[in-house]
Amino acid sequence: MAYVAPVDDIMHALKTAAGIEALIADGTVTTDLDTVRAVIEEAGKFGAEVLDPLNWSGDQQGSKLVDGVVQTPQGWKEAYGQFAAGGWGSLPCDEEHGGQGLPQMVSMAASEIWNSANMGFGLCPLLTQGAIDAVEAHGSEFLKHTFLPKMVAGTWTGTMNLTEPHAGSDLGHLRAKAEKQADGSYRVTGTKIFITYGDHEMTENIIHLVLARLPDAPPGTRGISLFLVPKYMVNADGSRGERNDVICAGVEHKLGIHASPTCVMKFGEKGGATGYLVGEENRGLNVMFIMMNAARLAVGVQGVAIAERATQRALEFARERKQGRTASSKGHEMGPIVEHADVRRNLMTMKAMTQAARAICTVTARETDVSRLAKDPVARAAAANKVALLTPVAKAFSTDIGCEVASMGVQIHGGMGFIEETGAAQYYRDARILPIYEGTNGIQAIDLVARKLPLDGGKVVEAMLGEFWKTCEDVRASNRPEFGRMGERLSDCVIALSEATRYLMETLPSNPDAAMAGATPYLRLFGLAAGGVYLARGALASAREGAGPSPYIALARFFAENLTTAAPGLKETVIGGADSTLGLALSA
Amino acid sequence: MAYVAPVDDIMHALKTAAGIEALIADGTVTTDLDTVRAVIEEAGKFGAEVLDPLNWSGDQQGSKLVDGVVQTPQGWKEAYGQFAAGGWGSLPCDEEHGGQGLPQMVSMAASEIWNSANMGFGLCPLLTQGAIDAVEAHGSEFLKHTFLPKMVAGTWTGTMNLTEPHAGSDLGHLRAKAEKQADGSYRVTGTKIFITYGDHEMTENIIHLVLARLPDAPPGTRGISLFLVPKYMVNADGSRGERNDVICAGVEHKLGIHASPTCVMKFGEKGGATGYLVGEENRGLNVMFIMMNAARLAVGVQGVAIAERATQRALEFARERKQGRTASSKGHEMGPIVEHADVRRNLMTMKAMTQAARAICTVTARETDVSRLAKDPVARAAAANKVALLTPVAKAFSTDIGCEVASMGVQIHGGMGFIEETGAAQYYRDARILPIYEGTNGIQAIDLVARKLPLDGGKVVEAMLGEFWKTCEDVRASNRPEFGRMGERLSDCVIALSEATRYLMETLPSNPDAAMAGATPYLRLFGLAAGGVYLARGALASAREGAGPSPYIALARFFAENLTTAAPGLKETVIGGADSTLGLALSA
């Protein structure tokens, strides 16, 4: 089946969860609603017409290392060329470097579309954007001038080189080295693993951002610097120069995203790759942390994307596949399985979870925009704190539900779902990387509890809980019969989140292990509350418009009555589960 | 890493959840505890030494159709020969036909081991056992005499041919035909799909059990008959005769269980395959239903098996992989990730879910034994009802957690988990078939609510709830500090299950769609309650033995304080979620 971009659902999230209209009205973002819709519609066409047809073939062919060169699947290079030519790689970039200066909210909506249509492809611009962000924010004028225009134009792609075999989550122990040269450049040596699009022949150059240590660097995370290492050197006139000392030494054989080459990269096998410092010496991790929020949000959006795609395919199958008697069956005829109550529960769960995660990611992108663009510095700071708080939720909740929804999608297909040619299994395989990369979801949960709850003495989370509660009050006050028990369930959920938050804030200083033991169920609880609240705001807006029955009211009500019901139990697990989590000896 | 059979955990479930000692003492089963342990230990050795080493290579090679013949992976034929020679295929079979007459409880424990070590292999004896059961229970003396001894000996394997392209879950619409011949045999024609081990060269013959319609059969499920169709005819002297008119026309390209050939079977392409009626004409589905409980339990056991295997691998990895500072770190050293609280939560969840599902399956097997072997017919009937009630829970809950635990196993490995060579991804792929085949988990949930709750006017479920409640009281009365809040949490869970049960019983007659909308969360709730209760019985037994801290007390407490906490929310979803589940138009 063909992918169709969910333009209405995306616009609904932008309008009702993220309040884009108010930001346009007060001039925080300089665009208008028609432009936003037009961009999303055009992106939808590109995704459906160019990227979607390559998704399955790309999975089956995969990217391969042949004679030291990575070969991407058939059609990949041409598609990437069209992507760059269409300006799709430059949506959120500075206009100064050739970008289109669109808000993060809109850029993330487009990113959802690339990744729904073809996640193996979507990773390439995702990583390139990360590299652009780093150079834009911290690069010298030389680096910006030399590299940014072609990266923004999509003529060159970018990579992020963090992980080493022994240092994945704990970057403090990485060993790659960099030594300063007389000309101000650095010689970089070391091996990096899990490097997405570390090599390919789609573009004439690849710009690697590499974490490494200087010889005299302090140990741990305070001794890490960030370097830009191009695959090919760049001549003074901007033309491509000689090959730098960096090679792809292997491509991983993975569960999913087969088309996206996951490379082992070797820097300096012939003496040292030429690199340029980005930011200050020994401050590389700070540069990375600044970009990390955007990258984590982008991965959360991939979770939304794969959930959307899996839902579309399952819904289409459920409308066509006939098994058993249903409401519309005549005589002994079988009816479409979409009419079975249990199949409906799965489909409603898939739709509601997807729209909830989309709303969380859209709000996070909105706050990113406000944190950068608002005129009032107090508003910028407050928004930056919201981004910090919501980012781990956007990343982990959305990618967890990406996996769950993809699994439900397989299930709805029955035996056909297990057959690769059906396509549902690819989403199940592709989705599985999302809770792992860009900081595992366990690390997101720890980040939420240990670093984000204490922000500003707890006032950041307190303010957000207050906003959530306000929505609960609005829902209850609206007193609409079509809302069912949404107000009651959502209130129970936000109360549970508030109680779990209070417990964690109290426990964290005295017994951090007990707090960490509750981090994962707490993050899930946070996601359910945020998702339920944002969907409820959408329901309230739809009700105010009053144009008859709205799918957004139906989804919000379903979410509250069927999914936020897990909230009180999650709270109990957070508050009462630590002792038994930590009790049994598991070490060898 | 090598598989190690969890002999102690299996024995613990047999003793404390299934009460095998009492059944031995009162003569219901004729074996003794030493024999049981010896069988399980020997099975564990066979699984570890013969089947486990072929698991990964079997996945990578897969079974393939070459020139009309299915080729199984390297080493498969030899391993199957050893399996048959060791008598492992005959554990639960009648001694009359060469079987060992061991209880289902023990046979299922061995089945867990085959499927933990190598699920792609384990499916072959699983399906053969189903075919043996059908012939044992309903075959004519001719069929029993001609086919059973070699099937029991493992010389021939068996298959189950139900599904057709348009008739998966709804067998009433199947089209395969059978016409009676003058000699009393039948000519069978038709196409069947998803036939596990439909063809292979591991044994000299394959015995297919095939559902088909007679020319004058009534429409729907009351017009289906069951036929035995051998791949090769059998001469009067028992030797192998000529090839029957049945071929494998294709092998599916699947997400997982690559080594297990999933075949498209064509019967009667040259005029008709010779088949023999099993049971009565038009009563084929009744024969299938009788076997279905055993087959569904066997698939539930596969869920336990894959969860066990995934847990073992993840635990070993977590003990070895070092990232971040932990309790045992010195200075700047990294410690093993098993010491991180969040990783512990995942591992404890994996262990507790696995042991809970194992207990549910073991109790279901126990009741199967009692239903067949008890001297008292009232006890037999009561046990048969318990089997009927527990089977959908054993199948669906265990296979759902099989997938969930396999997914957590990938997660614990971080980036390595997504690399196929690590091995964790294979379990994630293999596990995904389990909620689908042998009746999807949605169908299990519907079966539980629509057919099993009303058994004997609701008295069957009422009696089981009474037993569950008794365990809650025992836990609370024991008042042991090491039980934490197990009694409280378990009681909340059983109360939630009781309330949800009452609601469904009341709703089912008047509004079946509303009841069906709650079927899946209800089954989960039932599984949490049953699992929690059986683990608690294990904890009580360990406490009575009083030999210091017991892992079974720790697991039971963790399960109650961290996982049964979901119960009240599931109840709310069952009771309050139907309207919004059914409200939104999803049809095309």
For A498-545, what is each residue's pLDDT tens digit? Answer: 999 999 999 999 999 999 999 999 999 999 999 999 999 999 999 999
Report yes or no on B326 lying in a domain.
Answer: yes
Partner-chain contact A414 B338, CB within 8 Å:
no
For an interface test with B, the pick among A421, A565, A579 (most B C-beta atoms closer than 10 Å) comes out as: A565
pLDDT at position B349: 98
Q: Quick check: B314 pLDDT over 90?
A: yes
**Of the candidate ranges A139-153, A191-205, A327-341, the one whose mean pLDDT is the lowest:** A327-341
Mark A491-521 as b/e (b = at least 16 C-beta within 10 Å).
bbbbbbbbbbbebbbebbeeeebbbbbbbbb
Report yes or no on B351 lying in a domain.
Answer: yes
A114 close to A123: Cβ distance less than 8 angstroms: no
Give chain A's mean pLDDT. 96
Across the interface, of B334, B484, B586, the residue whose CB is closest to A579 is B484
pLDDT at position A409: 98
Mean pLDDT (whole number) for A308-325: 95
Nearest chain B residue to A512, by CA: B341
Enumerate the residues of chain A whose CB falls inside 8 A of the CB of residue B324: 169-170
Instruction: Please name the helix (run of DSSP H) or strand (run of DSSP E) that holds residue A277, with its range, or none.
Output: strand A273-278
**Is A438 labeled as catalytic in the residue annotation?**
yes
Partner-chain contact B168 A419, CB within 8 Å:
no
Q: How far is B228 from chain A (nearest CA, A)?
A: 24
Partner-chain contact B420 A347, CB within 8 Å:
no
**Which residue in A41, A204, A438, A482 is the catalytic one?**
A438
- Give A331's contacts (C-beta < 8 A, 6+ positions apart): none
Q: How far is B248 from chain A (nearest CA, A)?
A: 17
**Of the candidate ranges A447-451, A548-552, B264-268, the one whose mean pLDDT is the lowest:** A548-552
Report yes or no on A401 lying in a domain.
Answer: no
Whole-number Å distance between alpha carbons of A133 and B161:
58
- Give B305's contacts (C-beta < 8 A, 6+ positions apart): B111, B112, B113, B114, B115, B116, B119, B122, B402
Mean pLDDT (whole number) for B417-432: 98
Across the interface, of B328, B411, B558, the residue whose CB is closest to A436 is B411
Q: What angle do CA A48, B256, A114 make, to 5 degrees?
A: 20
Partner-chain contact B561 A551, CB within 8 Å:
no
Partner-chain contact A516 B340, CB within 8 Å:
yes
- Give A510's contacts (C-beta < 8 A, 6+ positions apart): none
pLDDT at position B588: 65
Partner-chain contact B580 A562, CB within 8 Å:
yes
pLDDT at position B549: 82
Across the interface, of A341, A489, A581, the residue whose CB is closest to B344 is A581
Across the interface, of B341, B581, B587, the residue whose CB is closest to A558 is B581
Hey, is B273 helix, strand or coil? strand
Distances (CA, A) of A271 to A216, A246, A266, A376, B201: 19, 10, 11, 50, 56
Whole-number Å distance between alpha carbons of A139 and A147:
10
Report yes or no on A50 lying in a domain.
Answer: no
pLDDT band of residue A169 (cuts 50, 70, 90) is: confident
Partner-chain contact A348 B520, CB within 8 Å:
no
- Token pair in block for residue B169: 């879950």
Distances (CA, A) of B385 to A341, A463, B248, B547: 26, 55, 39, 37
Report yes or no on B25 lying in a domain.
Answer: no
Residue of B539, B534, B532 whose CA lies nearest to B478: B539
Whole-number Å distance between alpha carbons of B428 and B406:
5
Burial of A529 per CB tally in 10 Å (0-12, 13-18, 19+): buried
Give chain B's mean pLDDT. 96
Report yes or no on B515 lying in a domain.
Answer: yes
Give the N- to C-terminal CA distance of chain B in Å, as an integer. 49
Partner-chain contact A193 B587, CB within 8 Å:
no
SS3 content of chain B, % helix, strand, coil (to 5): 65, 15, 25
Q: How far is A572 from chain B (nearest CA, A)?
A: 6
- For residue B588, give the DSSP letter: -
Residues B338-362: tens digit of each pLDDT:
999 999 999 999 999 999 999 999 9
**What percent of chain B has pLDDT above 90?**
90
Nearest chain A residue to B410, by CA: A432
Enumerate the residues of chain B whose CB falls inside 8 A of the CB of residue A429: 255, 429
Nearest chain A residue to B343, by CA: A442
Hey, is B292 helix, strand or coil? helix
Do the strands A186-196 and B225-230 form a parallel or antiparallel pair, or are they unpaired?
Answer: unpaired
Partner-chain contact A436 B418, CB within 8 Å:
yes
Partner-chain contact A580 B163, CB within 8 Å:
no
Enumerate the residues of chain A whose CB falls inside 8 A of the CB of residue B254: 418-420, 425
B399 close to B302: Cβ distance less than 8 angstroms: yes
Q: Which domain holds residue B409?
A: 287-581
Across the interface, of B421, B484, B514, the residue whose CB is closest to A253 is B421
Greatest CA span in chain B, whole angstroms? 87
Angle between helices A76-85 and A119-138 (to 10 degrees): 50
pLDDT band of residue B293 (cuts 50, 70, 90) is: confident
- For residue A427, give the DSSP letter: H
Nearest chain A residue to B414, by CA: A436
Phi, psi of B492 (to 5 degrees): -55, -40
Beta bridge partners of A208: A159, A229
For an interface test with B, the pick among A251, A260, A342, A550 (most B C-beta atoms closer than 10 Å) comes out as: A342
Partner-chain contact B572 A489, CB within 8 Å:
yes
Q: What total number of domains does chain A contain?
A: 1
pLDDT at position B292: 83
Residues A407-433: tens digit of each pLDDT:
999 999 999 999 999 999 999 999 999
- Token pair in block for residue B309: 């295997």
- For residue B559, give the DSSP letter: I
The letter for the amino acid at B485 is R
Whole-number Å distance between alpha carbons of A559 and A353:
7
- Token pair in block for residue B530: 């049953």
Partner-chain contact B484 A580, CB within 8 Å:
yes
Mean pLDDT (whole number) for A268-294: 92
Enumerate the residues of chain A whose CB falls inside 8 A of the CB of residue B435: 411
pLDDT at position B242: 97
B118: left (phi over 0), alpha (psi -120 to 50) or beta: beta
Q: How far is A170 from chain B (nearest CA, A)?
A: 5
Partner-chain contact B580 A252, CB within 8 Å:
no
Residues A349-408: tens digit of each pLDDT:
999 999 999 999 999 999 999 999 999 999 999 999 999 999 999 999 999 999 999 999
Do the strands B246-251 and B186-196 form a parallel or antiparallel pair, or are they unpaired?
Answer: unpaired
Residue of A241, A188, A232, A236 whose CA lies nearest to A207: A232
Enumerate the residues of chain A whose CB falls inside 8 A of the CB of residue B348: 580-581, 584, 586
Distances (CA, A) of A380 to A372, A375, A385: 6, 8, 9
Partner-chain contact B577 A584, CB within 8 Å:
no
Q: Quick check: B133 pLDDT over 80?
A: yes
Q: Quick check: A588 pLDDT over 70?
A: no
Instruction: Please name the helix (run of DSSP H) or strand (run of DSSP E) that holds residue B194, with its range, or none.
Output: strand B186-196
Q: Quick check: B424 pLDDT over 70?
A: yes
User: How many other β-carbons are positioned within 10 Å of the β-carbon of residue B124?
Assistant: 27
With the C-alpha atoms ordered B256, B258, B263, B264, is the resulting torsion angle positive or negative? positive
- Token pair in block for residue A25: 């009205």
Partner-chain contact A558 B583, CB within 8 Å:
yes
Greatest CA span in chain A, whole angstroms? 87
Across the interface, of A194, A319, A582, the residue whose CB is closest to B587 is A319
Partner-chain contact B411 A516, CB within 8 Å:
no
- Which CATH number belongs to the domain containing residue B475 in this structure? 1.20.140.10
Enumerate the residues of chain B whose CB falls inside 8 A of the CB of residue A404: none
pLDDT band of residue A26 (cuts 50, 70, 90) is: very high
Distances (CA, A) of B330 to A35, B324, B336, B340, B416: 57, 11, 12, 15, 26
Enumerate the residues of chain A whose CB falls inside 8 A of the CB of residue B395: none
Mark A47-83 as b/e (b = at least 16 C-beta within 10 Å).
bbebbbbbbeebbebbbebeeeebbbbebbeebbeeb
Enumerate the residues of chain B whose CB falls inside 8 A of the CB of residue A490: none
Do the strands B205-212 and B156-161 form a parallel or antiparallel pair, or are they unpaired?
Answer: parallel
- Token pair in block for residue B198: 């439909």
Q: Quick check: B291 pLDDT over 90?
A: no
Residues A430-483: tens digit of each pLDDT:
999 999 999 999 999 999 999 999 999 999 999 999 999 999 999 999 989 999
The letter for the amino acid at B550 is S
ipTM passes above 0.90: yes
**What percent of chain A has pLDDT above 90?**
90
Residue with tokens 């729904």: A116
B186 close to B276: Cβ distance less than 8 angstroms: yes
Angle between helices A567-576 and A519-545 (to 10 degrees): 160
Nearest chain A residue to B336, by CA: A587
* Residue pairs spanning A and B at CB distance below 8 A: 277
For an interface test with A, the pick among B345, B441, B563 (most A C-beta atoms closer than 10 Å) comes out as: B345
Q: What angle do CA A559, A560, A564 make, to 5 degrees?
A: 90
Residue with tokens 């046990």: B383
Hey, is B276 helix, strand or coil? strand
B559 close to B345: Cβ distance less than 8 angstroms: no
Report yes or no on B63 lying in a domain.
Answer: no
Which pTM value belongs to this model?
0.97
Phi, psi of B410 (to 5 degrees): -60, -45
Beta bridge partners of B517: none
Whole-number Å distance between alpha carbons of B239 and A239:
79
Enumerate the residues of chain A whose CB falls inside 8 A of the CB of residue B340: 442, 516
- Token pair in block for residue A356: 């909830």
Report yes or no on B462 lying in a domain.
Answer: yes
- Token pair in block for residue A244: 């730098």
Radius of gyration in angstroms for the set of CA atoms belonging to chain A, rounded to a whole number: 24
Enumerate the residues of chain B whose CB falls inside 8 A of the CB of residue A521: 345, 562
pLDDT band of residue B580 (cuts 50, 70, 90) is: very high
Across the interface, of B255, B332, B425, the residue whose CB is closest to A425 is B255
Partner-chain contact A332 B172, CB within 8 Å:
yes
Enumerate the residues of chain A whose CB falls inside 8 A of the CB of residue B499: none
Partner-chain contact B576 A569, CB within 8 Å:
no
User: How many other β-carbons are positioned within 10 Å of the β-carbon of residue A485?
Assistant: 18
Whole-number Å distance between alpha carbons of A106 and A41:
11
pLDDT at position B548: 76
Instruction: Give the length of chain B.
Output: 588
pLDDT at position A519: 98
Q: What are the residue numbers of the active site of B? A: 438
Residue of A100, A89, A158 whose CA lies nearest to A130: A158
Angle between helices B284-320 and B341-373 (to 10 degrees): 150
Whole-number Å distance between alpha carbons of B152 and A180:
74
Nearest chain B residue to A519, by CA: B342
Q: What angle do CA B15, B16, B20 make, to 5 degrees?
A: 35
pLDDT at position A326: 84
Enumerate the residues of chain A whose CB falls inside 8 A of the CB of residue B578: 341
For an interface test with B, the pick among A345, A407, A429 (most B C-beta atoms closer than 10 Å) comes out as: A345
Residues B496-538: tens digit of each pLDDT:
999 999 999 999 999 999 999 999 999 999 999 999 999 999 9
Whole-number Å distance between alpha carbons of A86 and A99:
12
